[in-house]
Amino acid sequence: MVFLPDESRSLPPPPLLNKGSVWLGFTGWLSALLDNAFNPRPVLQAGVHRQILFATVGCFVGYQLVKRAEYKHAKVDRELFEYIRHHPVDFHSA
């Protein structure tokens, strides 16, 4: 993906159904329903293909955002552990 460097490939992938993908998938589906509600169409029956498309795009974007967040957290953890390893005097155990 464009937003992640190659070093992120060493991380395990997040589960397909995670908090971000479920919420953004649900938001995509609701946006298709709202589009039907604001236009003179039946809310649930019209544009089922758009409902599926919006939910799928929402799930994909949510998955990619969770993947990016996990990479950012792993990067911060790596930097902190590297700092602790280089400064053992500051972090001695009691």
Residue 93 lies in a domain: no
What is the pLDDT at residue 94?
59
Range of the domain at 30: 17-87
- The list of the chain residues with pLDDT below 70 reads 1-2, 94
Per-residue pLDDT of 22-44, as tens digits, reads: 999 999 999 999 999 999 999 98
The answer as to whether 30 is a domain residue is yes
What's the confidence (pLDDT) of residue 9? 84
Element (H, E) at 16: none
The total number of structural domains in the chain stands at: 1
Written in H, E and C, the secondary structure of 31-69 is: HHHHHHHHCCCCCCCCCHHHHHHHHHHHHHHHHHHHHHH
- pTM score above 0.95: no
For residue 74, is it within any domain?
yes
3 falls within a domain: no
Q: What pLDDT, on the 0 to 100 scale, is given for residue 69?
A: 93
Q: What is the structure's pLDDT at 36?
A: 94
| Cβ–Cβ under 8 Å, residues 49 and 35 | no
Fill in the DSSP letter of residue 3. Answer: T
